[in-house]
Amino acid sequence: MICRSSLLAKSVARSISNNGFRRLASTKSLKETLQEVIPAKQEQLKKLKAEHSQAVVGEVKVENILGGMRGLKAMLWEASVLDPNEGIRFHGMTIPDCQQVLPPAPGGKEMTAESMLWLLLTGKVPTPDQSHQLSAELAEKGELPHFVTQLIDSLPKTLHPMTQLGMGVAALNHDSKFQAAYERGIKKPEYWTYTLEDCLNLIAKLPALAARIYRNVYHPERSLESVDKNLDLVGNYSNMLGFGQNEHLTEYLRLYIALHGDHEGGNASAHTAHLVGSTLSDPYISYSAALFALAGPLHGLANQEVLRWQMAMQKEIGDNITHENIKDYLWKTLRSGQVVPGYGHGVLRNPDPRFVALQEFCKTRPELQASPIIQLVQQTAEIAPDVLKEHGKTKNPYPNVDATSGCVLYHYGLTEFKYYTVIFGVSRALGALTQLVWARALGLPLERPKSYSMDALQKLIKN
């Protein structure tokens, strides 16, 4: 975790306490905590509908319709809000806030996926005991059913890892508790409880599924470790990937997965899960669709593109890494008609706080500070914004999280580029699946926007 002064720590803790995030010595389970939180949120939604349903929160322009609905305020998403200037906040908490108060794994320093999952679901900071109990619950659910291992093992290793992950997740719907309960005829107020059960089962099984795909595609000679009931979710994931002895990588994966867990609901993968879930598809089907959205080069493939670009730069300029050489390579990229990967963002207009957090992680690790590729990332981040400002064709010339995330994985020995998006897929489940629980708890309707043809738009404009 990033070092901070005791004064800052007290300030953050006081701020969090004042906003209702005070850590309480509680033994309540995740489901029991949700049973307390949900009625208040249901009442808040009821009041919004009754008192403010006609309030205007934005306007639709032709550019919104033609530009992929970018920027439209048209979606309810309880876990996080992305501010263009401040970056992401999880239930009002910044990334440094989360690093300060969310419990780490035993013996570790970085917040765990379980503690972030608890926060995203409930809006509350779990105690260490609650976080560790959730780790134990997920470990108990973590083994894959035999039919899924057979399916994954039967796939050609040349099939893209993301395709395999989506297929495996979809196949898990064979055991969906929500689907079985819906067919039985449960009442709407009960939907969220079965959705929660499916979501926790899926999150628990993702490490084993993702690790099996990694083994089959890249290291078929290796044996595959079983789920260790004493490890947290990411500890198990790292162990099953074959990196269990690399505590540096495991800690990095904890930070990476927590930071990538949620980034509001408008991004393609989260929105896809929300859209498919609104049809009352179970969480497995909904999240498999999200994964296929994440697999697109305009969404989840970005960090591997950054790494390829950085390594091409490293190869071209060799050991003579100067600011002038980096600047020349940036201009060469731009003049060839390409974008500089890892810079800019669809919403943010300042440096991505996730990038800042990962850079701070790098600064605390001597082996990363000595890494040529990490040094190149850091120097590029110092030079690229001014070049991009001069170029004048990007609204945000600052680095996003992808500018560094894949490069650290590469340094620690996880060098298979195509697999990086699978790790992203394991991460994004934390936010996308928690919002399926809330969509059912709040009784959100089928998502169905209105569409127009160009002729219809021109008629509207004329009138």
Q: Kindly report, residue by residue over 158-214, the tens digit of the pLDDT.
A: 999 999 999 999 999 999 999 999 999 999 999 999 999 999 999 999 999 999 999
Q: How far apart are CA 214 and CA 232, in angstroms?
A: 19
In angstroms, how far is the first alpha carbon of the chain from the final one?
58
**DSSP secondary structure letter of residue 90:** E
Cα distances (angstroms) measured from residue 295 to each of 161, 322, 425: 10, 35, 9
| Mean pLDDT in residue range 412-441 | 97
Domain residue spans of the chain: 302-411
**Alpha carbon 103 to its chain's center:** 18
User: What does R_g of the chain's alpha carbons equal in angstroms?
Assistant: 22
Q: Residues 412, 269, 33, CA angle at the centre, nearest 5°?
A: 90
Is the per-residue pLDDT at 14 higher than 70?
Answer: no
pLDDT of 43 strictly over 70: yes
pLDDT confidence of residue 23? 45
Average pLDDT over residues 102-127: 97
Q: How many CB atoms lie within 10 A of CB 280?
A: 16
State the pLDDT confidence band at 6, using cuts at 50, 70 and 90. very low
Instruction: Note whether 81 and 87 are within 8 A (CB).
Output: no
Q: What is the mean pLDDT of residues 222-227?
A: 95
Tens of pLDDT along 144-159?
Answer: 999 999 999 999 999 9
* CB-neighbour burial class of residue 318 (10 A; exposed 0-12, middle 13-18, buried 19+): exposed
| 322-368 pLDDT tens trace | 999 999 999 999 999 999 998 988 777 788 999 999 999 999 999 99
Which is more confident, 304 or 284?
Answer: 284
288 closest CA partner among 445, 447, 428, 192: 428
Question: What CA–CA distance (Å, rounded) separates 26 from 415?
Answer: 42
CA–CA gap between residue 96 and residue 5 (Å, rounded): 13
Tokens 């000595």: give the residue: 370
pLDDT interval class at 457 (50, 70, 90):
very high
209: left (phi over 0), alpha (psi -120 to 50) or beta: alpha
* Separation of alpha carbons 232 and 134, rounded Å: 9
Q: Which helix (H) or strand (E) holds 180?
A: helix 177-184
pLDDT tens, position by position, 358-396: 999 999 999 999 999 999 999 999 999 999 999 988 888
* Alpha carbons 438 and 440: distance in angstroms, whole number: 5
Q: Which residues are catalytic?
A: 299, 345, 402
Paired tokens of 1: 């975790």
Element (H, E) at 83: strand 80-83
**What per-residue confidence (pLDDT) applies to 26?**
67
Reduced to 3 DSSP states, what percent helix, strand and coil does the chain have, rounded to the nearest 5?
60, 5, 35
The amino acid that residue 359 corresponds to is: Q
- Residue of 394 and 57 predicted with greater confidence: 57
**Please, which residues have CB within 8 angstroms of residue 196's CB and are 6 or more apart in sequence?**
31, 34, 437
Length of the chain, in residues? 463
Do residues 284 and 176 lie in contact, with contact meaning Cβ atoms separated by under 8 Å?
Answer: yes
Return the number of other C-beta atoms located less than 10 Å from residue 40's C-beta: 10
Q: Which CATH class is domain 302-411?
A: mainly alpha
CA distances from 389 to 362, 382, 404 (A): 26, 13, 20
- pLDDT > 90: percent of the chain: 83
For the chain, what is the mean pLDDT? Answer: 92
DSSP string, 101-154: HS-B-TT--SBPHHHHHHHHHHSSPPPHHHHHHHHHHHHHT-SPPHHHHHHHHH
Angle between helices 420-441 and 268-277 (to 10 degrees): 40
Q: How far apart are CA 218 and CA 420, in angstroms?
A: 13
pLDDT for residue 305 is more than 90: no
User: Over the stretch 228-267, which tens digit does the pLDDT of each residue have?
Assistant: 999 999 999 999 999 999 999 999 999 999 999 999 999 9
Could you tell me the two tokens for 434? 């928690």
Closest Cα to residue 448, out of 62, 45, 27, 75?
A: 75
321 confidence band (pLDDT: 50, 70, 90):
confident
What was the pLDDT predicted at 25? 46
Mean pLDDT for the stretch of residues 258-285: 97
**The predicted structure's pLDDT at residue 17:** 45
Per-residue pLDDT, 414: 96
